[in-house]
């Protein structure tokens, strides 16, 4: 089974991180890999890609004509991929050496049409003690209570997800109107695609937590103000997605809210009663606050998308 791995980037400022991501793909234990690197409209980045990777076997170096955003750039890479499976990794992530091998193991042992793995944190600026693990999804890391091994979910993170090529091609790839573009960000592009996957094929993404990718968590992502804004706009994005695609992931969102209210908050209250600490209190406060902020963003989305 041949696997094409698409890696996109757009700025010379993060090219060193992009190289680390690509090098982690080249260091995989699985042999039958095609590397597809895409410069999102940046000629200078494209030239560096060509110099660094243009002579490698099973490697495609390409560029979009202009800055089109992460979703359209990924579609550009998917169109050029020739593998049986197309996998995605971000330019600020590092794949575990067994990443592709673990994804392929699910395809070979099941009839899965999409497989994703676990995002782990690579703390660049140190681990924030106040941030509860239930909200690690805000920083691009798989959160506590996400899913069981082998469970079929709506989606995993876009930096650790794969599809059979004929499936993602039939879906038309990612919606170019959703996802990062320059400094702007409309969130939930992988959620939008995987909602269409479920609607079209009646299937989801099989989760294999042994397929690991580390996401670099830079200092700005641990800034409390950034997290507050992120939570609000994530809530807004959830409502926007529901408007674009009715019932998009409503069951998953309801289950996660129930998990927060009935499991996580009571668990932390019990921890505080049995062994009080500043860390437990701060995580409890942030858990409640972030839940409320996501809810406020969702309500704002109802107002904006009515």
Percentage of the chain surpassing pLDDT 90?
73
Which of 219, 237, 252 terminates a domain? The answer is 219
CB within 8 A of 166, min separation 6: which ones? none
* pLDDT (0 to 100) of residue 129: 92
Mean pLDDT of the chain: 91
pLDDT of 274 higher than 60: yes
Q: How far apart are CA 74 and CA 213, in angstroms?
A: 18
Tell me, yes or no, whether 44 and 184 share the same domain: yes
- In this structure, of 123-132, 166-175, 182-191, the range with the lowest mean pLDDT score is 182-191
46-50: list long-range contacts, CB under 8 Å, 24+ apart.
48/12, 48/15
Q: How far apart are CA 11 and CA 102, in angstroms?
A: 30
Tell me, yes or no, whether 35 and 183 share the same domain: yes
Tell me, yes or no, whether 228 and 214 share the same domain: no
Tell me, yes or no, whether 198 and 230 share the same domain: no
Q: How many domains does the chain divide into?
A: 2
* Rg of the chain over all Cα atoms, to the nearest angstrom: 19
Q: How far apart are CA 175 and CA 147, in angstroms?
A: 25
* pLDDT (0 to 100) of residue 240: 76
* pLDDT (0 to 100) of residue 250: 62
Tokens found for residue 283: 């995580």
- DSSP assigned state of 58: T
pLDDT of 183 higher than 70: no
Q: Nearest-CA neighbor of 114 among 158, 162, 49?
A: 162
Confidence of residue 149 (pLDDT cuts 50, 70, 90): very high
Percentage of the chain surpassing pLDDT 70?
93
- DSSP assigned state of 156: -
Residue 59 structural domain: 3-219
Identify the residue whose tokens are 């062994």: 275
pTM above 0.75, yes or no: yes
Q: Are 51 and 26 in contact, with CB atoms under 8 Å apart?
A: no
Confidence of residue 188 (pLDDT cuts 50, 70, 90): low
Q: Quick one: average pLDDT of 219-241? A: 89
Compute how many other C-beta atoms are within 10 angstroms of the C-beta atom of residue 57.
6
Tell me, yes or no, whether 129 and 25 share the same domain: yes
Tell me, yes or no, whether 213 and 229 share the same domain: no
* pLDDT (0 to 100) of residue 249: 54
Tokens found for residue 57: 């076997």
Tell me, yes or no, whether 33 and 166 share the same domain: yes
Which of 219, 253, 270 terminates a domain? The answer is 219
Which of 219, 245, 277 terminates a domain? The answer is 219
* pLDDT (0 to 100) of residue 236: 84
Tell me, yes or no, whether 265 and 204 share the same domain: no
* pLDDT (0 to 100) of residue 168: 96
Q: Rounded to 5 degrees, what angle do the CA atoms 297, 299, 301 make?
A: 70
Q: Quick one: average pLDDT of 106-127? A: 96
- CATH number of the domain at 186, please: 3.90.550.10
The beta strands (E) that lie in the chain are given as 3-9, 33-39, 59-63, 85-88, 93-95, 114-123, 152-153, 161-164, 179-181, 184-186, 205-217
Q: How far apart are CA 265 and CA 233, in angstroms?
A: 22
Pairing of strands 205-217, 93-95: antiparallel
pLDDT of 187 higher than 70: no
pLDDT of 146 higher than 50: yes
* pLDDT (0 to 100) of residue 213: 98
DSSP 26-51: HT-S---EEEEEEESS-HHHHHHHHH
Interval 45-101: pLDDT, tens: 999 999 999 999 999 999 999 999 999 999 999 999 999 999 999 999 999 999 999
CB within 8 A of 80, min separation 6: which ones? 36, 60, 62
Based on the number of CB atoms within 10 Å of its own CB, is 277 exposed (0-12), middle (13-18) or buried (19 or more)? exposed
Tell me, yes or no, whether 120 and 177 share the same domain: yes
């Amino acid at each position: 089974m041949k696997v094409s791995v698409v890696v996109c980037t757009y700025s010379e400022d993060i090219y060193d991180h992009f190289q680390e991501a690509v090098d982690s793909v080249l260091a995989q234990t699985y042999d039958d890999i095609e590397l597809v690197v895409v410069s999102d409209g940046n000629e200078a980045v494209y030239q560096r890609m060509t110099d660094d990777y243009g002579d490698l076997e099973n490697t495609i170096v390409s560029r979009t004509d202009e800055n089109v955003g992460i979703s359209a750039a990924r579609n550009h890479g998917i169109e050029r991929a020739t593998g049986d499976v197309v996998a995605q990794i971000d330019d600020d992530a590092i794949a575990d050496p067994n990443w592709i091998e673990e994804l392929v193991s699910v395809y070979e042992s099941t009839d899965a049409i999409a497989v994703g793995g676990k995002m782990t944190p690579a703390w660049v600026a140190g681990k924030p003690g106040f941030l509860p693990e239930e909200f690690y999804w805000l920083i691009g890391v798989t959160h506590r209570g996400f899913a069981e091994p082998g469970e079929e979910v709506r989606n995993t993170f876009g930096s650790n997800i794969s599809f059979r090529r004929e499936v993602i091609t039939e879906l038309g790839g990612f919606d170019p109107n959703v996802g990062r573009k320059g400094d702007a960000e409309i969130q939930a592009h992988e959620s939008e695609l995987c909602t269409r996957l479920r609607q079209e094929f009646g299937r989801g993404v099989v989760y294999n937590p042994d397929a690991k990718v580390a996401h670099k968590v830079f200092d700005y992502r641990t800034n409390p103000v950034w997290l507050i804004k992120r939570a609000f706009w994530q809530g807004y994005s959830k409502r926007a997605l529901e408007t674009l695609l009715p019932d998009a992931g409503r069951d998953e969102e309801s289950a996660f809210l129930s998990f927060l209210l009935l499991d996580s908050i009571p668990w932390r209250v019990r921890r505080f009663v049995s062994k009080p600490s500043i860390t437990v209190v701060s995580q409890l406060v942030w858990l409640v606050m972030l839940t409320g902020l996501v809810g406020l963003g969702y309500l704002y989305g109802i107002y904006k998308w009515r």
